[in-house]
Each structure stands twice: as structure tokens, then as C-alpha cells.
């Protein structure tokens, strides 16, 4: 096992904690990319539960995702630090409650400096269960993070279509949605309501059936990356834009909710060189963070909806910077995030 500081995804993280509960066998990694040393603002990020092949793989996920959360906070102007928790392994149903209690204990150990909630493998019900043992769970307020995430993706996607395709509406625009979970399904619904033709696919048969009932044309999710559509919306796991897939993309716009869509940073320039308009994922999917900020800071629902819609204006700012500097949108977004991130 390599030291966190020697991992290729380490980015001067403030802290990386390896946690283990001897009683349940629960193991987790919490990565704090940036945090406020005064304690005024917490570091925030979801808790992901997966069967990782190796500890190094889990560590890489925690490091990348926590850095992405810092970027998300920076580009949205929210005053939090970026963080992430990853749980190594999905417990058996009979052991799940005990593991969740262990995780709550881990969260309590940070004394409110770290707030976490729903992510891959951890449901809203799980978060409510953990809340009985720790007050530092977030994302279960009056607006669910997945709903606001989808709304933010929709707003930035629509603005990207205006930039790249010169259309103010989505009527006649074809969109391929890769992943039809809570976010992907809500996004598909909004796209259909706005007149788009939506093709989508998920590995979950039930999700496909629900989407089909809404009017989504179901396709194999593995083929979506190269589908002949106007817009590609990655809404499943990250890393789909790689050196071996970027050349197959036929969409002219990419805007989705998946974290870390670019497997490597140079993929942003590769998309730019091919004339593909890429909405940085940490901007497109920032609606979930806005829902968390609403809960932590006590804002109302009108504020949250306004902030999610305003992500499109943030995109305009990034595009203007990219144009003025003659760089890709991904590069301009990274520069903006780096300038605004807390040291």
C-alpha cells in the first residue's frame, strides 16, 4: 500500500484518513482536499460504498472525488472545502445497519468539520439511519440533492446547446443519457418536456422500463458513447471519456451528472480539438452541493432553485474565459477553480 502523498491523484490534500472498525470490519477512507482551519465552514462530500478491487483503487477514488468537490465549491462560489468518504465493500444486508452505525461513528470523529451524505451505494434511507447516530449527515432536506443535480445538468446542458448548436430550445435536439438512475431519469423527463428526443440506457432493467414508459428510446448503455446524437449526457460512473473512447464520440455537446467524466485531464483538450463543447462535470452536477448548502446555511427552496438555474450563467463565465485565453473550456474551468479554491 503506497502512502497517500505518493499516489498520482494526491493534490496537496489537507488530510487523508484510513478508518477501520474492528467490531464490524468496516473500512473507509475519508479524504479532505480543502478545509477551513477556523472551523467556520465544513468540508463536504458524499459517502460512496463500493466493492473496490484494491485499497489503492479506493484511495484514488477518494482523492479524485474530494478534489472535484473543491472545484465544485469554487466554481459555484460556495464557501466549503471539498471532501469524500469511500467505504471499501458493500456489506451483506444483515450486517448493513451495524456498518452504517460504524460509519456514523467515523463521521462523528470529525466533530462537524466533515459533512457527508448520499452517493453511489448509499441511499437516502441509509443517511437517515446514520443521522440517528450523528448530526453531521446532509442532503435529506426539503429538496433532494439528486433532483437539484438533475435540474443543474438540465440548465447547463440547455445553455451549452445554445453555445454550440445555436438553439434556444431543445425541440428536435437528440440527447443520449448514459445511466438512468435518480438523476438520469429526472434529467430525461425534463429533456422530454422541453421537446428533446431522448435515447438512454442503464444496466438496471427496471430503470430502463421506467424510462421507456416516459418516452425514452432505450439503447445499450455501452453504445451511448459513440451514438450519433447532438448531446451526450454521462450520468453513471466516471472515466467514460478516455484515450480509447474520445475518438468515437459523435455528439457535439457533453453535459452530464457523472463525476470525473474525463479519465485524464488531457481529455478536455482532446474534446476541444475535436470541436466538442464539454460542460465541466463539477459545474453541471453542482445542484447536489447546492442542496447541501441550503441545509447547512438555512436557505429556502427559492434560493436553491435560483442557484441551480444560475449554473448556466457560471458556464457563460467559463466560456468567456476560455475564449479570451484561447484555451479549452475544461482548462478555463480548472483555472477558475484553482483561483477561487481556499489554500
Active-site residues, by number, are 84
Task: Report how far residue 242's alpha carbon sits from residue 317's, in angstroms, rounded to the nearest whole number.
Answer: 26
Instruction: Using alpha carbons only, give the angle 141, 143, 148 rounded to the nearest 5 degrees.
Output: 130
Hey, what's the torsion of the CAs at 302, 305, 306, 308, to 10 degrees?
160
**236 vs 69, 180, 285, 300, CA distance in Å?**
17, 8, 12, 29
Task: Report how far residue 85's alpha carbon sits from residue 117's, in angstroms, rounded to the nearest whole number.
Answer: 9
Coil, strand or helix: which one is 85?
strand
Cell numbers standing for residue 272: 476541444
Cell numbers standing for residue 143: 429538496
Hey, what's the torsion of the CAs at 44, 49, 54, 59, to 10 degrees?
0
Among residues 235, 256, 259, 240, which one has the least CA distance to residue 84?
259
Among residues 29, 39, 32, 36, which one has the least CA distance to residue 11?
32
Pairing assessment for the beta strands 277-278 and 253-254 based on DSSP bridges: parallel
Amino acid at each position: 500500500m503506497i502512502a497517500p502523498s505518493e499516489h498520482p491523484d494526491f493534490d496537496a490534500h489537507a488530510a487523508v484518513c484510513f478508518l477501520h472498525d474492528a467490531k464490524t470490519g468496516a473500512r473507509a477512507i475519508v479524504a479532505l482536499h480543502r478545509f477551513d482551519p477556523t472551523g467556520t465552514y465544513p468540508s463536504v462530500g458524499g459517502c460512496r460504498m463500493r466493492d473496490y478491487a484494491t485499497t489503492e483503487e479506493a484511495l484514488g477514488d477518494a482523492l479524485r472525488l474530494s478534489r472535484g468537490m473543491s472545484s465544485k465549491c469554487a466554481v459555484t462560489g460556495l464557501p466549503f472545502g471539498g471532501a469524500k468518504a469511500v467505504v471499501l465493500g458493500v456489506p451483506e444486508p444483515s450486517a448493513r445497519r451495524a456498518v452504517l452505525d460504524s460509519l456514523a461513528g467515523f463521521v462523528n470523529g470529525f466533530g462537524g468539520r466533515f459533512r457527508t451524505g448520499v452517493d453511489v451505494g448509499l441511499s437516502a434511507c441509509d443517511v437517515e439511519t446514520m443521522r440517528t447516530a450523528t448530526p453531521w449527515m446532509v442532503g435529506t432536506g426539503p429538496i433532494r440533492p439528486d433532483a437539484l443535480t438533475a435540474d443543474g445538468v438540465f440548465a447547463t446542458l440547455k445553455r451549452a446547446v445554445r453555445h454550440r448548436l445555436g438553439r434556444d430550445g431543445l425541440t428536435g435536439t437528440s440527447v443520449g443519457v448514459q445511466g438512468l438512475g435518480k438523476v438520469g431519469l429526472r434529467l430525461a423527463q425534463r429533456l422530454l418536456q422541453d421537446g428533446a428526443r431522448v435515447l438512454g440506457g442503464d444496466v438496471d432493467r427496471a430503470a430502463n422500463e421506467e424510462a421507456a414508459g416516459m418516452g425514452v428510446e432505450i439503447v445499450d448503455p455501452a453504445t451511448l458513447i459513440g451514438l450519433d446524437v447532438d448531446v451526450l449526457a454521462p450520468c453513471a460512473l466516471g472515466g467514460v471519456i478516455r484515450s480509447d473512447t474520445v475518438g468515437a464520440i459523435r455528439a457535439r455537446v457533453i453535459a452530464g451528472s457523472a463525476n470525473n467524466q474525463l479519465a485524464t485531464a488531457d481529455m478536455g483538450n482532446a474534446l476541444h480539438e475535436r470541436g466538442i463543447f464539454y460542460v465541466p462535470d463539477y459545474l453541471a452536477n453542482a445542484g447536489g452541493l447546492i442542496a447541501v448548502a441550503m441545509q447547512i446555511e438555512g436557505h429556502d427552496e427559492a434560493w436553491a432553485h435560483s442557484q441551480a438555474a444560475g449554473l448556466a450563467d457560471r458556464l457563460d463565465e467559463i466560456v468567456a474565459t476560455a475564449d479570451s485565453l484561447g484555451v479549452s473550456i475544461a482548462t478555463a474551468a480548472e483555472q477558475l477553480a484553482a483561483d477561487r479554491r481556499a489554500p
